[in-house]
């Protein structure tokens, strides 16, 4: 594959969309165990500009694209292959024409959807997968409460918990009720009402919201149950006061888990949602749009044709 010497890239020089700049930089070279991916699409995650310790950096850690070059020792992939992945948060992201990705973070792209739709899967889909499989081990027949069931992570949480055979309750905006039920939620509770008066003895809470929602969740979990938090760490006081396992984690890249998610997508069991797309040179607008409410799906930055 012909690889250019220079590429268009978005660099964050601060913590808000206003600090993003469109720049031209040399195309990076993949090191041992790494792959250079020609990016077709990437996606924006809430709050992500506040995560890195140092600036400048390239945002957007989801990637869907084509393998352009292989680093030394890479035998698992071929140039020209269509792949997707999550780029670790200690590295530059994919708001660029090319991104370097460790090969173990990549999987074959789902066959039945385009790159634009694929780009909304890795970060949010892996977060939900790891919450359900690694941090709570949800079993068939258990009752799972997903807070933020219409959100980027929550909608995968609802679909995957339903697929695992759990009884799923979700909290969401009233306007999202039909959508979240269609994803597999048995019951959807309007998040402006008091969910803690409407649900009890839950086996597992997946909390994508934090704040008051997390504080009010302890009372709805059965003794010995689990709260998995991704938006905020549970307090030591609350942990000490309850017989409940509470876990906070940061999602990790995992190509094997992405292979599983791709199969579910191709089987029609997992439906990703794109809220809106922006071209690479308008990534700053994608970040400004982000705080909008009641909108399903993630915002995509499209680098090449879908």
Ligand X SMILES: NC(=O)c1ccc[n+]([C@@H]2O[C@H](COP(=O)([O-])OP(=O)(O)OC[C@H]3O[C@@H](n4cnc5c(N)ncnc54)[C@H](OP(=O)(O)O)[C@@H]3O)[C@@H](O)[C@H]2O)c1
Closest distance to ligand X from the beta carbon of 81 (Å) = 27
Report 231-290 residues binding ligand X (CB under 6 A).
231, 250-251
Closest distance to ligand X from the beta carbon of 134 (Å) = 12
Residues in CB range of 201: below 8 A, 6 or more apart = 143, 220, 221, 222
Cβ-based nearer residue to ligand X, 66 or 283: 283
Closest by CA to 66, choosing from 114, 32, 22, is: 114
From 127, 169, 217, 302, residue interacting with ligand X (rule: CB under 6 A): 127
Closest distance to ligand X from the beta carbon of 32 (Å) = 27
DSSP alpha helix (H) spans, the chain? 115-118, 122-133, 154-163, 177-182, 211-215, 236-241, 255-266, 283-289
What mask, x for binding ligand X by CB under 6 A, covers residues 39 to 78?
Answer: ------xxx-------------------------------
Residue nearest to ligand X (CB): 151
Whether residue 9 contacts residue 60, with contact meaning beta carbons closer than 8 Å, is answered with no
Rounded to 5 degrees, φ, ψ at 74 are -85, 115
* Parallel, antiparallel or unpaired: strands 221-229 and 245-248: parallel
Cβ-based nearer residue to ligand X, 66 or 217: 217
Cβ-based nearer residue to ligand X, 153 or 183: 153
Closest distance to ligand X from the beta carbon of 17 (Å) = 15
Angle between helices 122-133 and 255-266 in degrees, nearest 10: 100
The stretch near ligand X (CB under 6 A) out of 17-25, 68-76, 101-109, 121-129 is: 121-129
Closest distance to ligand X from the beta carbon of 180 (Å) = 9
Length of the chain: 306
Q: Count residues contacting ligand X (CB under 6 A)?
A: 27
Report 141-180 residues binding ligand X (CB under 6 A).
147-148, 150-154, 171-173
Closest distance to ligand X from the beta carbon of 148 (Å) = 3
Tell me the DSSP string of 28-96: PPP-TTEEEEEEEEEEE-TTGGGS-SSSSB----EEEEEEEEE-TT--S--TT-EEEEE--TTS--SSB
Helix (H, G, I), strand (E, B) or coil at 241: helix
Binding site for ligand X (CB under 6 A): 45-47, 123-124, 127, 147-148, 150-154, 171-173, 191, 208-209, 213, 230-231, 250-251, 293-295
């Amino acid at each position: 594959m012909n690889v250019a010497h220079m590429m268009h890239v978005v660099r964050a020089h601060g913590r808000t969309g206003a600090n993003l700049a469109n720049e031209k930089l040399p195309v990076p070279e993949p090191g041992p165990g790494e792959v250079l991916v020609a990016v077709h699409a990437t996606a924006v995650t809430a709050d992500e500009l506040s995560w890195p310790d140092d600036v400048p950096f390239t945002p957007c850690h989801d990637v869907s694209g084509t393998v352009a070059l292989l680093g030394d020792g890479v035998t698992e992939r071929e140039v020209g292959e269509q792949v997707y992945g999550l780029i670790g948060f200690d590295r530059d992201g994919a708001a660029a024409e090319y991104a370097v990705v460790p090969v173990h973070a990549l999987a074959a792209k789902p066959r039945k959807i385009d790159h634009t739709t694929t780009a909304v899967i890795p970060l949010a889909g892996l977060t939900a997968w790891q919450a359900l499989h690694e941090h709570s081990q949800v079993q068939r027949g258990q009752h799972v409460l997903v807070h933020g069931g219409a959100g980027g992570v929550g909608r995968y949480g609802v679909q995957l918990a339903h697929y695992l055979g759990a009884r799923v309750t979700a909290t969401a905006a009233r306007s999202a009720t039909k959508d979240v039920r269609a994803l597999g939620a048995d019951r959807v509770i309007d998040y402006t009402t008091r969910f803690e008066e409407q649900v009890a003895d839950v086996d597992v809470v997946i909390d994508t919201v934090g704040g008051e929602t997390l504080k009010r969740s302890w009372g709805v979990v059965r003794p010995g149950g689990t709260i998995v938090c991704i938006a905020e760490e549970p307090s030591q006081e609350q942990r000490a006061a309850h017989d409940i396992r509470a876990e906070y984690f940061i999602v990790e890249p995992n190509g094997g888990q992405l292979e599983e998610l791709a199969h579910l997508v191709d089987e029609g069991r997992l439906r990703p949602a794109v809220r809106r797309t922006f071209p690479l040179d308008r990534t700053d607008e994608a970040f400004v749009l982000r705080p909008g409410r009641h909108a399903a799906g993630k915002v995509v930055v499209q680098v090449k044709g879908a």
